[in-house]
């Protein structure tokens, strides 16, 4: 399998190439040159019960001959053995026809673990083969840092440095990062804001000499391998719940459009998926797009669901590529217009094409709290604000024709205890393995908002030399 850029200029690469590159050289995102196809007959032969066996079967056409099947099997087993639930993505029906799929049983209690636990291992494997090492640097406002750290901890070929604003992330979020005891994990508390942290990371990448010397890299949400890893639970849910000749719909709490795009990919591959419901909070750039055909950025407002507080959904470019019939120059023009003016519009026919598959629902903080309270009152179930948005959207969408709806639950309630307690009166407990989180020893370095100091710290603490 070869991958090409959504902007049509960059060189096509194989799986290993796109894994390591992340972003394409022309600024675009990588996509497979064609979608592997699984028709009904092929689907009946898939091992849909075992998460890792299904993943293996789905990944083989994407990975091609870049990774040996036996190596891939080991990585899959290891990645998903760290999940609390052997099912990885267990489902339960909360009312007739409305199912919740729990994607938060990984180490950091959010759905990003599903992809990152595998991607960290894929990176390590490919780097070892190439006898290379990388240094990952990233900034976090609290939420994504721990998923990246858990993905990279103990990986031989990777050192990871995560910057967070000192005193401005919640204690649970900080401790999920700073209590990881691996030698290759480095937490830096910056005396500054989250924006300062982001600026420092950008400045490190822009310092060409430093970037080359450290082999700087990122595992960001546009990496193709993250999308690929997320296709599995859509295929699995569809295979498990679709009835003869029918399909299932998915409701997806959405920020960067990465998760719901994986659902689109599963549909393109032939799995019985009907509609994809894009659920947003008040930061509703996507809802407005699906209503009007115009993508127009506004300022981000903070909500109860911070992981969806986004005004630019970077993975949307992958869908835009299909709406532009694979015309990379057209995609590049629209994205450039968006960069310059904060908006772009598609033609009515393109909007109709998108609306043939996607619905969109906006749930504000009041609606989020109401859904959390309702679920607790009706079934004793505690859900986090992101998951509540997905479930409320799924409920609003449920059709009379009996098509099952699967709402994706993207975070564990204990990840957002204050919001859950405010809505339900109950403070959710951390899962057993994290119960002593508040007693564990922390490791972090406090540094000033100063590029020279940070670069010196990274240089001094990364493990030098070639990978063995």
| Contact residues: ligand PLP, CB under 6 A | 110-112, 143, 221, 253-259, 307-308, 386, 410-411
How far, CA to CA in Å, does 403 sit from each of 238, 241, 249, 261?
11, 9, 7, 20
Phi, psi of 287 (to 5 degrees): -60, -45
Nearer to ligand PLP, 161 or 316 (CB): 316
Residue nearest to ligand PLP according to CB distances in the complex: 256
User: b/e for 17-38, b at 16 or more Cβ within 10 A?
Assistant: bbbbbbbbeebbbbbbeeebeb
CB of 121 to ligand PLP, least distance (A): 20
Smallest distance, ligand PLP to C-beta of residue 329, A: 27
CB 451 within 8 A of CB 200: yes
Smallest separation (angstroms) from ligand PLP to the CB of 226: 8
> 56 vs 307, which CB is nearer to ligand PLP?
307
Residue 136: CB partners within 8 Å, gap ≥ 6? Answer: 148, 152, 158, 159, 160, 161, 216, 217, 218, 219
Tell me which of 112, 267, 369, 398 is the catalytic residue: 112
> Least Å distance between CB 461 and ligand PLP?
28
Q: Is residue 79 within 8 Å of residue 117, measured between CB atoms?
A: yes
Cα separation, 174 vs 430, in Å, equals 15
Q: In the annotation, is 166 catalytic?
A: no
Q: Which is nearer to ligand PLP, 112 or 186 (CB)?
A: 112
Which is closer to ligand PLP, CB of 112 or CB of 175? 112
Task: Measure the CA–CA gap between 126 and 105, rounded to whole angstroms.
Answer: 26
Contact criterion met (CB below 8 Å) for 106 and 78: no
Smallest separation (angstroms) from ligand PLP to the CB of 398: 21
What does DSSP assign to residue 394? Answer: H
Cβ neighbours of residue 278 closer than 8 Å, sequence gap 6 or more? 252, 254, 257, 260, 286, 287, 290, 358, 359, 360, 361
What is the C-alpha to C-alpha distance for residues 384 and 423, in angstroms, rounded to an integer?
10
Closest to ligand PLP by CB, 30 or 38? 30
Q: Least separation, in Å, of the C-beta of 410 and ligand PLP?
A: 3
Q: Which one, 16 or 371, has the nearer CB to ligand PLP? A: 371
| Nearest one of 392, 420, 419 to 407, comparing CA atoms | 392
- Rounded to an integer, what distance in angstroms lies between the CA atom of residue 440 and that of residue 190? 22
Would you please indicate which residues are annotated as catalytic (active-site) residues? Answer: 112
């Amino acid at each position: 399998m070869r991958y090409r850029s959504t902007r049509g200029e960059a060189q096509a690469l194989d799986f290993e190439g796109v894994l390591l590159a992340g972003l394409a050289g022309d600024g675009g995102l990588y996509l497979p040159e064609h979608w592997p196809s699984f028709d009904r007959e092929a689907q009946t032969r898939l091992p849909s019960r075992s998460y890792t066996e299904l993943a293996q079967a789905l990944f083989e056409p994407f990975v091609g001959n870049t990774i040996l099947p036996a190596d891939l099997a080991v990585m899959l087993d290891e990645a998903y053995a760290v999940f609390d639930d052997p099912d990885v993505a267990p489902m339960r029906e909360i009312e007739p026809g409305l199912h919740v799929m729990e994607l938060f049983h990984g180490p950091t209690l959010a759905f990003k673990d599903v992809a990152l636990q595998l991607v960290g291992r894929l990176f390590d494997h490919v780097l070892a083969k190439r006898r290379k090492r990388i240094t990952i640097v990233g900034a976090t406002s609290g939420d994504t840092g721990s998923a990246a750290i858990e993905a990279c901890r103990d990986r031989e070929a990777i050192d990871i440095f995560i910057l967070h604003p000192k005193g401005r992330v919640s204690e649970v979020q900080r401790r999920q990062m700073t209590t990881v005891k691996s030698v290759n994990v480095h937490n830096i508390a910056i005396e500054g804001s989250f924006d300062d942290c982001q600026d420092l990371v950008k400045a490190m990448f822009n310092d060409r000499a430093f970037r080359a010397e450290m082999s700087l890299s990122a595992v960001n949400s546009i990496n193709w391998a993250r999308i690929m890893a997320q296709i599995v639970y859509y295929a699995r849910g569809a295979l498990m719940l679709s009835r003869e000749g029918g399909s299932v719909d998915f409701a997806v709490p959405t920020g960067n459009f990465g998760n719901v795009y994986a659902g689109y990919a599963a549909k393109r591959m032939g799995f019985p998926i009907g509609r994809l419901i894009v659920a947003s909070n008040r930061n509703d750039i996507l809802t407005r797009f699906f209503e009007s055909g115009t993508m127009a950025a506004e300022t981000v407002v903070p909500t109860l669901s911070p992981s969806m507080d986004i005004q630019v959904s970077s993975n949307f470019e992958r869908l835009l590529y299909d709406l532009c019939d694979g015309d990379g120059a057209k995609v590049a023009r629209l994205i450039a217009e968006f960069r310059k003016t904060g908006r772009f519009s598609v033609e009515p026919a393109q909007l109709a094409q998108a609306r043939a598959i996607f619905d969109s629902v906006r749930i504000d903080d009041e609606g989020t709290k109401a859904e959390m309270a309702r679920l607790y009152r009706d079934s004793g179930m505690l859900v986090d604000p992101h998951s509540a948005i997905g479930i409320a959207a799924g409920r609003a969408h449920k059709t009379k024709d009996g098509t099952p709806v699967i709402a994706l639950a993207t975070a564990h309630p204990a990840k957002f205890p204050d919001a859950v307690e405010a809505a339900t009166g109950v403070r959710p407990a951390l899962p057993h393995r994290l119960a002593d989180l508040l007693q564990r020893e922390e490791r972090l370095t406090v540094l000033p908002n100063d590029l020279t100091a940070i670069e010196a710290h990274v240089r001094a603490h990364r493990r030098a030399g070639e990978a063995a």
